[in-house]
Amino acid sequence: MTPWHRIAQFAGLALVASACSMSAAVRKTPMASAVLRVPADLPNQRLFDCAESSIATLSETSSSWPKVTREDSAQGILESGDFPEANRSGFRLRLERPPGASQAKLALKGAGAYFVDLGVDQAMQDLKTALDRCVATQPL
């Protein structure tokens, strides 16, 4: 093998190695956040029921909405789709609302393969609309 072939091989391997490490550094899960106004006297369990039914409704039109995986009414936290995990596909919600607060914080991750944005901004709008509608209606 000539020296030029060795240099070309080495350069090719270096390029491949640097490209792999670059892609790992650039990965970022697409996210959207919002604040949802809720009545201060609304129990967290009612808000969580609304979140669960909203997710179920949205999952009828998109399989990217996984079920609730964590619910803690006392702490005011609800999560869907293993929210803390970094490398998951689909929409994942984290809803935080201290008991008695007049607002809830929503964080939504929405990544597909290779961290492609699944349309997280539109999904957040759809979720907020569904939540607003549910919170505004009286339970049966």
Q: Which CATH number covers residue 77?
A: 3.30.310.50
Give me the pLDDT at residue 92, please: 95
Give me the pLDDT at residue 22, please: 44
Give me the pLDDT at residue 113, please: 87
Domain region containing 46: 29-136
pTM for this model (two decimals) = 0.78
* Integer Cα distance of 65 and 127 in angstroms: 11
Is 21 within a domain?
no
Give me the pLDDT at residue 25, please: 47
* Integer Cα distance of 77 and 47 in angstroms: 10
Is 48 within a domain?
yes
Give me the pLDDT at residue 14, please: 61
Q: Which regions of the chain are under pLDDT 70?
A: 1, 3-6, 8, 10-26, 140
> Is 93:107 a contact under the CB 8 Å cutoff?
yes
H/E element, 111: strand 103-111
